[in-house]
Structure 1
Amino acid sequence: MTLDPSALPQEQNERFALPFRVPLRVLVAWNPLDTNSGDNEALEFAAWLGRSLPISVRVVSTLLRPWPASIGVLGKKYKKWHKKESQACASAVENALKQVELPRKYWAKEFSTLADGQNEATMLSDEAERFDADIILVGSNAAASKGRFLAGSAADALMHSSPTTLGLAPRKVKLSKKGINRVNFAFVDERCNESSPGLMFASELATYLEVPLRIIAFSPTGIGEVTLSKGGDIATELIDDWHEQALGMLDLARDRVIAAHESLEVITEVGAGKGWANAVDALKWKKGDLICMSSQPLGTLERVFVGSSANEFLRHVPVPVMISPATTP
């Protein structure tokens, strides 16, 4: 069962120490003119979130222009062109939001905006700042396999620089009509442990939505087995050691969460298999699953930064993902 925070008495609402606001301010990157953008995964992600908690959605469409900002952007012709294109985008966005069945009450007053510039990731970050967004949602590159995520150029840049929580939607992913019915927290990066702020984020969200929390780690085999020297099973030994370490880390993480949320249903699992693809597929996934991840620290800046292991993991996840920025104390 999902919980409608807007229906809660104020004193009950305040007992949830959510690390984000309600309604959640959601910026969706979607371009009606981009024939390579695939289907409406990012918009469907937004509508899916709206089935679980109140949101305020703005859709940003971006146009890459070949000329610098100093040339003609203040002229009457440019302003007339921009107004016309903005109106066309708003019409397309309105139809798209209706198509994904996002209730009108969750549309921001300015639900569509058009940005033009020379760097798509920068435009998305700037618009997120203007909208004061809590999360930016992006869809997969159309070249991705069905149910898998492949970052386009803008998404890839945001995965290494976004100051805002980033939501990733796999291509043509099937989502539960009832919204989020299980929150997952994934241990992927070696610097992530049971004290990770992302784990607390996931546990607070699961508690708020009154859904189970699954804490997961992965043990992909076959990685690093090809070596120049002959003999020795060092890769196998290290993988076995990591598997044992992962089990211990999951136990500590479960204890830490339950200590803070006694009523929360918490389970732990390890996905093991040949390579990342099989390790991820070794776990059972539901249409109502959401994965939360911690970003790697990036100096003293609060930014999303996805390392190589996490990047490889994301290529095989079959459900939507939220990655929160990390900062070094």
Structure 2
Amino acid sequence: MAEKTPVRIAFVDDDEHLLSSHRRNFARLRPAWDAAYFNDPYKARDAISADSGIHAAVLDIHMPGMSGLELAAELRRLRSDLIIVMLTGYADLQSALLAVNELGVFRFYPKPTNLQTILEGLESEIEARQGHVEESLPTDFLDLFELGVVAVDDAMTILHMNAQAAELMRGSSLVKSGSQGKLILEPTPDGLAAFLHPPSNMTPRPHQSYAIERDGEKLSVLIRRVPKKTDGKTTFMVILVDPAQQKPPAIDDLMDLFGLTRSEAKLTQKLAEGLALDQAAELVGISHSSARTYLKTIFSKTGVNRQPQLMKTVLSSIPSLR
């Protein structure tokens, strides 16, 4: 009987300390497996694409020269059979959805994630493929985030939903899954239809936030547009947040979400904490006149024109994931 080919895993990360940690622990955790390590995404692309014996690649999403998403796209084009796992220090939901939907990424883990957890997931997938088990649509990555996350199409048909969203739906009268698998928000937010289906002569907004309230119950909803490049269709990431558990978003989240500069994000964060503009300016270390100038730019980038609207928009956005 022929000897079974050992499982081979490639790790690609520009963090040498992390690669060294993997080297130390991999042999102990999976002594029958082999591993290859790369700190250069270009060398990794050439080596992995040329070696069909590599079963899976674990990629860092943030690398200089070529990002993990770009490397995943290249590897998917060259190796349709490759199992790809993404690691990121920034829990970027839009990148996660793109990675799963567009690039066929198997799992999306935040850094740091225990190596044992990653290897257990890979082992289950490799065994399933070797047993010719039909692959189901991967949704496990959504459960990594402490938010209710629902992916929908432009008809609000639910494509993916994490455990947190399901739990929130069970306890809320403001959001539910309809009989035809559609996400239903009650009452329907004003402007939702226009956001999902903007007029052809208007540039689609990348995100929109809503505050739903009825009979004393409240729900914050952030919807992010996620273009699908392969077929021209658009999906949406719906993030459901219980206002009672909200915290002001992290500065990096505000920068990523609204395109703010770091100074603008710092000022916005302080305003979201309920501080007056002059108090926020003092803590950020800018003059009151500079703060007023920043605020005009912040209003423009977030699509509001008053400070109370800004606070509602910010507090309806993604709480800190870092």
- With structure 1 as the length reference, what TM-score do the two structures score? 0.28
Q: Which has the higher contact order (CA 8 A, sep 6+)?
A: 1
Larger Cα-atom Rg: 2
